[in-house]
Structure 1
Amino acid sequence: MTDGDGADWTDAETFAAALDRAETREKGHFFEFFAEGDEIEHDPGIRLARAGNEQWLSQTLNHDPAYWRTDVAAERGFEEPPIHPDYLLACVMGPSVEDLSEKGGYFLGRTNVRYHETVYPGTEVHVLSTVVDTRTSSSRPDYGIVTWQTEGYDADTGDVLVSYERTNMIPRREQVATDGGSTERSDTYTASDVPDLPETFVTPDGGYLEDFRAALDRAEDEDAAVAYRHERGRTMDDTLVAGLPLATLNTARQHHNRDEMADSPSGDVVAYGDVTRSIALAHARSDEATYRERRFENERFHDFVTLGDTVYGFTRVLDADRPVADAEAGAVTFQHVAFNQENTPVYSGERTALVRCRPE
């Protein structure tokens, strides 16, 4: 291909020279773009399809029959098998990435995750984020820290479906002076964070509310903790690392651009945090009689998960309602930790779910 001057733009040397002279049209925003109080309506919307929901659930081992079978969905009070909360959350996070975090930077955490409505296939979701806070990193002159409140809402009704607050490190256009403080990666453990563990761990006898309550009572008597690991693991493959995030409109290069990530600290593309999270939660849910998801707090991503890593799950039970006569379910609060094949924590979070009472 030549222009009027006879240059062959597809010749390797000519094209390399063209690349050197061309300005890159950037995607995403640097830290300086964000100001407290700004509202950002994310252009992409996403229509939640049953096929996408089922692909997410099958690939992350989420097998709760209420999300697959019409009869079980009806028994739980659903009109039809609904959209799973994990998939809903990922589909709200995904469209926000281009505007908020495509430039990269550590995902420091997410909290105040709330599910407001049951969502069914066919719902069109739009996403709105508000800048809650911006601040300077004390240790990284080339990064700032931004916190956003994000809501995914029904495009037809305006009803908020899910909301959360998340915090990221975001690259700066210009470095600033720092106070030389410690790293802002609050999602890593230090020796001082490790408490004295109890001598005994108690494992529930089953997955119903009564089992969790009985285990907590026993642990209290024995000065023990209710904590256990889950047998299943899931190895990260191309579908999990690149396919699932791209299907939620997540444009972060970390998940699909191996060229860009070759010189990064991870050395390769990394898994979308919500995929890692969903796998860990699936391992936990396989050992409990989940009825409804309620909320999540203090979610952290502690280390990279890359292609070939295997994700396992560990659960600690923090609290459980006492069974009430004629109640279908009661609230149980868990701390979940996902870890890899080297027993390194990669995700943690506190989750409150309604767990079914034992059938009579």
Structure 2
Amino acid sequence: MTITESWQGRFYEDFGIGEIYQHPLGRTITETDNSWFTLLTMNTNQAHFNAQVGASSEFGRMLVVSPLTIAIAIGQSVVDTTQNAFANLGMDDLRLTAPVFAGDTLWSESIVLDKRESGSRPGAGIVTIRTRTLNQDAVEVLTFRRTFYVHKRDAAGAVSHFPQAATPLQLEQL
């Protein structure tokens, strides 16, 4: 029986300064996404949920609430950057550089700016990346720097939590 190891994300040792990760999943934002996130976060600015207010704005339509754009960008980056992280330490230089509307598809990419060993946690390191998010027209809509703690490959916190079945999965079981 051979178990093919799944992608587990990068550990501290896997990051290289200057490396660029183009995160593989694009995300189209719907009006429902925008309305629900606006309600969830209690944002009362009607530009995000009132079509009449949006139509009368300089943009001519409702805007996507910016914390949703930020959350999607961070989420898109996890597979390549923070799958093995255990704490975000900061977000800096956040810029919303163009409006986002329902129907836009967002794509994000990150570049590694810095990395260093942790002085207080021997099983971890600290990595800083810059992420930018583009819409379907390749227009940058968001950029920010993020710093996080990430496990080293052999750290206790880096072990898989996948449960081991009493009976291994086998082709003959089908």
Q: Residue 167 in 1 paired to residue 127 in 2?
A: no
Q: CA deviation at 1:133?
A: 0.3
Other-structure match for 2:158: none
CA distance in 2, matches of 1:120, 1:26: 33
Other-structure match for 1:73: 54
CA distance in 2, matches of 1:22, 1:92: 32
CA distance in 1, matches of 2:97, 2:71: 15
Aligned partner of 1:158 among 113, 138, 148: 138
CA RMSD of aligned residues (A): 1.9
Over alpha carbons, which structure has the higher Rg?
Answer: 1
Other-structure match for 1:266: none
Equivalent positions of 1:180-199 (< 5 A) are none
1:163 corresponds to which letter in structure 2? T
Q: Residue 133 in 1 paired to residue 114 in 2?
A: yes
CA distance in 2, matches of 1:26, 1:159: 30
Cα deviation code 1:279-316 (max 9, x no counterpart): xxxxxxxxxxxxxxxxxxxxxxxxxxxxxxxxxxxxxx
1:161 corresponds to which letter in structure 2? V
Aligned partner of 1:40 among 21, 45, 48: 21
Partner-residue secondary structure (3-state), 1:100: coil
CA distance in 2, matches of 1:45, 1:37: 23
2:124 corresponds to which letter in structure 1? Y
Other-structure match for 1:323: none
Q: Return closer, same or farther for 1:128/1:26 CA change in 2, 3 Å cut-off.
A: closer
Q: CA deviation at 1:81?
A: 0.8
Equivalent positions of 1:1-360 (< 5 A) are 24-155=5-136, 157-174=137-154
User: Which blocks of at least 5 consecutive residues in structure 1 are unaligned?
Assistant: 1-17, 176-258, 261-360
Q: Return closer, same or farther for 1:70/1:22 CA change in 2, 3 Å cut-off.
A: closer
The alignment's TM-score, normalised by the length of structure 2, stands at 0.83
Identity across matched positions, percent? 25
CA distance in 1, matches of 2:78, 2:131: 11
CA distance in 2, matches of 1:77, 1:46: 25
Q: CA deviation at 1:104?
A: 2.7
The alignment's TM-score, normalised by the length of structure 1, stands at 0.41
Contact 2:38 2:49 in 1 (8 A): no
CA distance in 2, matches of 1:165, 1:88: 15
Cα deviation code 1:196-248 (max 9, x no counterpart): xxxxxxxxxxxxxxxxxxxxxxxxxxxxxxxxxxxxxxxxxxxxxxxxxxxxx
CA distance in 2, matches of 1:26, 1:124: 25
User: Which blocks of at least 5 consecutive residues in structure 2 are unaligned?
Assistant: 156-160, 163-174
Partner-residue secondary structure (3-state), 2:109: strand
CA distance in 2, matches of 1:94, 1:76: 29
Cα deviation code 1:250-285 (max 9, x no counterpart): xxxxxxxxx88xxxxxxxxxxxxxxxxxxxxxxxxx
2:86 corresponds to which letter in structure 1? G
